C-alpha cells in the first residue's frame, strides 16, 4: 500500500505569485486534509476534502483554495502569495468514510516566498 505523497518537495515563489501544491492520498483513503506549519510552530488546519467536496475549513483567507479529484488526490492553491505564507505544507489522508479516526501525513512541501 502506498503512503501519502506530496509534490514538489521544495518550492520558491515571489510575493504576489500563485502556487499549486499536490497530494496523492494513501490507497483506500477518500479524505484529504491540508495543514500549514510555520517555522517553530505546530501544524494548523487549512481545510479538508471528502469525496471531492470541502468538509471543513480552518481560519485561512479565501486565497487558500483546494480541489479533490475523483481519484481522491488533492491540490492546494494559494493566490497572491505573502511572505508569511512561507511554511511547510502538509497533506494528510484518512478514511474510508467521512467519519474516520487516523490521519496519515505526507513529507510535506516546503514553500519559501521571497
Partner 1 sequence: AQSVTQPDIHITVSEGASLELRCNYSYGATPYLFWYVQSPGQGLQLLLKYFSGDTLVQGIKGFEAEFKRSQSSFNLRKPSVHWSDAAEYFCAVGPPGYSTLTFGKGTMLLVSP
Q: Which positions lie near partner 1, rule CB under 8 A? A: 4, 31, 33, 35, 40-45, 48, 56, 88, 90, 92, 94, 99-108, 110
- In whole angstroms, give the CA distance from residue 12 to residue 63: 18
Q: How far is the CB of 39 from partner 1 (least distance, A)?
A: 11
Number of H helices, E strands in the chain: 0, 11
**Complex with partner 1: residue 18 or 95, whichever CB lies closer:** 95
- In whole angstroms, give the CA distance from residue 114 to residue 98: 38
**Residue 85 backbone phi and psi in degrees, to 5:** -80, -10
Q: How far is the CB of 48 from partner 1 (least distance, A)?
A: 6
Grid coordinates in use for 28?
A: 483506500
Q: How far is the CB of 9 from partner 1 (least distance, A)?
A: 9
**Complex with partner 1: residue 17 or 68, whichever CB lies closer:** 68
Amino acid at each position: 500500500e502506498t503512503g501519502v505523497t506530496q509534490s514538489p518537495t521544495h518550492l520558491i515563489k515571489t510575493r504576489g505569485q500563485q502556487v499549486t501544491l499536490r497530494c496523492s492520498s494513501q490507497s483506500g483513503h477518500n479524505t484529504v486534509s491540508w495543514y500549514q506549519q510555520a517555522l517553530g510552530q505546530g501544524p494548523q488546519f487549512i481545510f479538508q476534502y471528502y469525496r471531492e467536496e470541502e468538509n471543513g475549513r480552518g481560519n485561512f483567507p479565501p486565497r487558500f483554495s483546494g480541489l479533490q479529484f475523483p481519484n481522491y488526490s488533492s491540490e492546494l492553491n494559494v493566490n497572491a502569495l505573502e511572505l508569511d505564507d512561507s511554511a511547510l505544507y502538509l497533506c494528510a489522508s484518512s478514511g474510508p468514510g467521512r467519519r474516520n479516526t487516523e490521519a496519515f501525513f505526507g513529507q510535506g512541501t516546503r514553500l519559501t516566498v521571497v
